[in-house]
Amino acid sequence: MTVSPRGSARTEAIMRTALELGRETGYAKLSMEAVAARAGAGKHTLYRRWPSKGALLLDSLLHLHAPDLDYPDTGDVVADLRTQIHAAVDLLGNPPFGPLYRALIGEAQHDPRLAADLNKRFVTPQTEKTVARLRTARERGELSPAFDLDLAMAVLSGPLYFRLLITQEPLTHAYVDRLLRALFDGMGA
């Protein structure tokens, strides 16, 4: 099905409205009805396109604030990871993406469909990019042949999500730098 330019503009207006309301009211108070009313759209129009406010918010974040979290390849894997993870921390630590992303992760714990979509559209692609960059470094001899790529990914992401979701301590560049030193010193890169 081809979306007309008018339909595309309408969809974008609904998404912008969802983000505005999400920032104003917080995820818990966000409703499809409020988005429809402010966007001048019918509630049924929204539900035809998005089965839940979580699905609408995920689409809105990824469409309107699509993160550019590709890895550079300078030949220095630690510097490349630092650059990319600093960008991710900047994205996750600031509105509109950060607070709404945290809310989506919370909602995904109760909505298996949203969890699957979040993983498919954001988490898995970012994980694959990280593992691919680590694999390239291992193949070039920057990392030991025994360097465990999947474990490295878990070690990199776990502390960031722990701060983001559990302790809600700030995600800072200095923390990322400490994490990278611990990973590469501890895993014998």
| Structure confidence at residue 1 as a pLDDT band (50, 70, 90) | very low
Query: In this structure, are 35 and 85 located in the same domain?
Result: no
- pTM, rounded to two decimals: 0.83
Helix crossing, 5-25 with 32-39: angle to 10°?
120
Inside any domain, residue 72 = no
Domain holding 171, by residue range, is: 77-186
Is the domain of 84 the same as that of 165?
A: yes
Same domain (yes/no): 82, 58: no
Specify if 170 maps to a domain: yes
**Are residue 95 and residue 38 in the same domain, yes or no?**
no
Pick from 4-8, 11-15, 44-48, 57-61: least confident: 4-8
Residues 109 and 160 in one domain: yes
Q: In terms of Cα–Cα distance, which of 173, 133, 181 is closest to 153?
A: 133
What tokens does 2 get?
């081809």
Same domain, 94 and 126: yes
Domain co-membership, 60 together with 92: no
Inform me whether the pLDDT recorded for 174 exceeds 60.
Answer: yes
Number of domains, the chain: 2
Q: Kindly state the tokens that stand for 20.
A: 């505005």
Determine the pLDDT at residue 183. Answer: 87
In a domain, 31, yes or no: yes
Neighbouring CB atoms inside 10 A of 129's CB total 14
Per-residue buried b or exposed e for 69-102, using 16+ beta carbons within 10 Å of the residue's own CB: eebeeeeebbebbbebbebbbebbeeebbbbbbb
Whether the Cβ atoms of residue 61 and residue 19 lie closer than 8 Å to each other: yes
Q: Are residues 89 and 152 in the same domain?
A: yes
Note whether 18 and 35 are within 8 A (CB).
yes
Judge if the upstream peptide bond of residue 112 is cis by omega within 30 degrees of 0.
Answer: no
- CA-CA distance, 159 to 176, in Å (whole number)? 9
How many angstroms separate the CA atoms of 109 and 153, rounded?
22
Nearest of 136, 135, 130, 134 to residue 158 by alpha carbon: 130
Summarize the confidence of residues 160-175 as an average pLDDT.
Answer: 93
The answer to whether residues 130 and 166 belong to one domain is yes
Q: Could you read off the pLDDT of 77-131 as tens digits, one per residue?
A: 999 999 999 998 998 888 878 888 999 999 999 999 999 999 999 999 999 999 9
Question: Is the Cα torsion angle 166, 70, 119, 61 positive or negative in sign?
Answer: positive
The Cα–Cα gap between 135 and 153 comes to 11
Look up residue 173 and give its amino acid. H
Quick check: is 127 in a domain? yes
pLDDT tens-digit profile of 15-32?
A: 999 999 999 998 999 999
In this structure, the answer to whether residues 59 and 109 fall within a common structural domain is no
